[in-house]
Amino acid sequence: MPLQCLKLNSLSLGNSKLRTLDLRLTQNLKRLDLKDCSNLVDINAPEGCLEKLVYLDLSGCGRFKSFLFDKQSKPLKVVSLSEDPAASSFGNLEKLISIGLCSCTNLQSFSRTIYSLQCLKKLTLEGSIPRVSMYIHQLQCLNGLSFQTEYDFPRLKSLKLKSCSNLRFNDISQLSLQELCLSIPMMKHLPDGLCMLRQLKSLKLESCWELERLPEDFGELESLQKLSLSNTLIKHLPDGLWMLKHLKSLKLESWLDLERLPEDISRLESLQELCLSHAMIKHLPDGLCMLKQLKSLKIESCRDLERLPEDISQLESLQELCLSDAKIKHLPDGLCMLKQLKSLKLHSCRGLERLPEDFGELESLEKLMLLSTRISHLSDSICMLKHLKCLEIGWLRRDQKLLEDLGRLQCLEKLILRCCHFSRSFPESIFELKCLKYFHLLDCTLDDLPEELRYLKCLEELDITGTNISHIPQSIFQLKGLRITGFKTI
């Protein structure tokens, strides 16, 4: 007669080829992992044998036909199920807390039994799911849902729908949603009642390729704090949007038809983050400079953008500024008056030839990135940047002498050089960086390292990934604790 396995509390049989599993002798089992047991057909778990089970993973058990749970078992904390044949047998799981169904092909039996899961708090349905039963509204404890069908849950806080090609919406005005994420390519209109979600704090519309407009009463979303719109057909923003007094983050990405931002953007008095990408705008509105709480401004791949507002100095809270792939030829002098600016990124601004003369006035600047620009020299005031810890320079032309000025940055701790040419000589100014700890030479045309690197007494990391360096000078090994990565041995 088989002995009971009283000490066994965790059983992991993932990716095994077993067809049947007998759990009658594992009364103390707490964790059961059967992930990707694709040949599993039957599990024998009679009443009383799973009283202590708190974790179960049946994902990938596509041939599973039957599974009997004890009705008195403790609430399962994490359950993942895949393929509907298994779903028909969990009508006894009244205390189930979390279920995930992925790639369900036939949801009918699941729909008939889900109403018995009265403690269900989180439901995730992903893949090709035709419909969910009308009984699903009886799940009164449900507060987290990610799926591809209709819904009506009074306690639901988060709803995420992705790639639901045939999804039809009911009126959602009675929900208590705080977060809504929709990525539905065929959706032409937003759900009815959306603007009546008084508790909604975050709205993300992504890859809704046929969505052409936002509701005119969009300003009724009085609690909205985050709005992200990307890859839609929306051409203009409704006037109501500028009434969102609590909006802190606005992301407008891949807006190919957007030619301007309205001056009314100044009314978003709580805005802290603004991201704009792939738009047709040539200028930013002057009203942008009235955003006193703005901390992050990212303008990326707006290839027609010709200038920044002259009054940019009024963005007194700005800490991060990113500009990429723009026509900008000069930076306004007011930029140097941004006393809170910590990070400045200039990428693929190929018409930009110089930094402002008072660049050293950016007293809080910690990180500077100059990638694919025409800037040839660092201004004389650069040495005043006492907090600049990280500098990244990349894709320099052969006639640019930007690296000759690096010795002025006496507080620099990290230097990253990308795709730079050192065919003639290595910049001696680098040897003057007495505080340098991290030096990355990534994809640079460099065959040898200079002996003078031994003067960088604080150097802790040297990355030469993508170079042709095949020999490390013996003198460099005098730097105790130095880590060298990316070195190719022959």
The torsion region of residue 164 among left (phi > 0), alpha (psi -120 to 50) and beta comes to beta
pLDDT of residue 5: 76
SS (H, E, C) 386-416: CCCCEEEEECCCCCCCHHHHHHHCCCCCEEE
* Residue of higher predicted confidence among 125 and 190: 190
Residue 320 lies in a domain: yes
Do 342 and 417 share a domain, yes or no?
no
Taking only the tens place, the pLDDT of each residue in 217-231 is 999 999 999 999 999
Alpha-carbon distance of 163 to 208, in angstroms, equals 9
The domain tally of the chain equals 4
Residue 317 lies in a domain: yes
* Residue of higher predicted confidence among 164 and 212: 212
Task: Say which range, 93-102, 306-315, 336-345, 378-387, has the weakest mean pLDDT.
Answer: 93-102
> Of all helices (H) and strands (E), which one includes residue 159?
strand 158-162
Structural tokens at position 81: 């199920």
Is 38 a residue whose pLDDT tops 90? no
Do 361 and 286 share a domain, yes or no?
yes
Do 35 and 141 share a domain, yes or no?
yes
Strand order in the sheet with 42-44: 20-22, 42-44, 66-67
* Residue of higher predicted confidence among 57 and 89: 57
pLDDT of residue 23: 82
Is 372 a residue whose pLDDT tops 50? yes
Alpha-carbon distance of 232 to 207, in angstroms, equals 6
**pLDDT band at residue 370 using 50, 70 and 90 as cut-offs:** very high
Q: Could you tell me which of 394, 382, 286, 404 has the C-alpha nearest to residue 349?
A: 394
Domain end marker among 343, 363, 385: 385
Task: Say which range, 11-20, 66-75, 230-239, has the weakest mean pLDDT.
Answer: 66-75
How large is the average pLDDT for residues 273-280?
93
Do 363 and 456 share a domain, yes or no?
no
pLDDT of residue 257: 73
Burial of 1 (0-12, 13-18, 19+ CB in 10 A): exposed
pLDDT of residue 337: 95
Do 277 and 402 share a domain, yes or no?
no
Cβ proximity of 276 and 298 under 8 Å? yes
Q: What three-state secondary structure class fits 13?
A: coil
**pLDDT band at residue 78 using 50, 70 and 90 as cut-offs:** very low
Range of the domain at 254: 248-385
Q: Please give the C-alpha separations between residue 175 and each of 49, 144, 153, 193, 270, in angstroms, as whole numbers.
A: 39, 12, 7, 9, 26
Alpha-carbon distance of 338 to 55, in angstroms, equals 52
Alpha-carbon distance of 101 to 93, in angstroms, equals 15
**Beta bridge partners of residue 21, listed in sequence order:** 43
Alpha-carbon distance of 146 to 140, in angstroms, equals 16
Do 152 and 183 share a domain, yes or no?
no
DSSP class of residue 471? Answer: -
Is 58 a residue whose pLDDT tops 80? no
Domain end marker among 188, 212, 245: 245
Q: What three-state secondary structure class fits 349?
A: coil
Q: What are phi and psi of 474, to 5 degrees?
A: -60, -30
Do 365 and 409 share a domain, yes or no?
no
Can you give the CATH number for the domain in which 454 is found? 3.80.10.10
Do 401 and 321 share a domain, yes or no?
no
Do 201 and 107 share a domain, yes or no?
no
Do 259 and 302 share a domain, yes or no?
yes
Neighbours of 109 (CB within 10 A): 17
pLDDT of residue 81: 42
Taking only the tens place, the pLDDT of each residue in 231-271 is 988 888 899 999 999 999 999 998 767 778 889 999 999 99
Do 132 and 7 share a domain, yes or no?
yes
pTM value > 0.75: no
Structural tokens at position 20: 């049947």
DSSP class of residue 109? Answer: H
Alpha-carbon distance of 48 to 211, in angstroms, equals 53
Domain end marker among 221, 245, 269: 245
Burial of 477 (0-12, 13-18, 19+ CB in 10 A): exposed
Q: What are phi and psi of 11, to 5 degrees?
A: -135, 115
pLDDT of residue 345: 97
Neighbours of 154 (CB within 10 A): 12
Do 314 and 426 share a domain, yes or no?
no
How large is the average pLDDT for residues 425-450?
91
Alpha-carbon distance of 84 to 62, in angstroms, equals 8
Structural tokens at position 422: 């050192």
pLDDT of residue 167: 55
Cβ proximity of 266 and 244 under 8 Å? no
Alpha-carbon distance of 120 to 122, in angstroms, equals 6
pLDDT of residue 340: 97
Taking only the tens place, the pLDDT of each residue in 107-161 is 444 444 454 455 555 555 444 443 444 444 445 454 444 443 344 455 668 877 7
Residue 172 lies in a domain: no
pLDDT of residue 332: 94
Alpha-carbon distance of 277 to 299, in angstroms, equals 6
**Beta bridge partners of residue 100, listed in sequence order:** 124
Alpha-carbon distance of 86 to 252, in angstroms, equals 42
Cβ proximity of 18 and 41 under 8 Å? no
Structural tokens at position 134: 């009308």
pLDDT of residue 3: 62
Q: What three-state secondary structure class fits 86?
A: helix
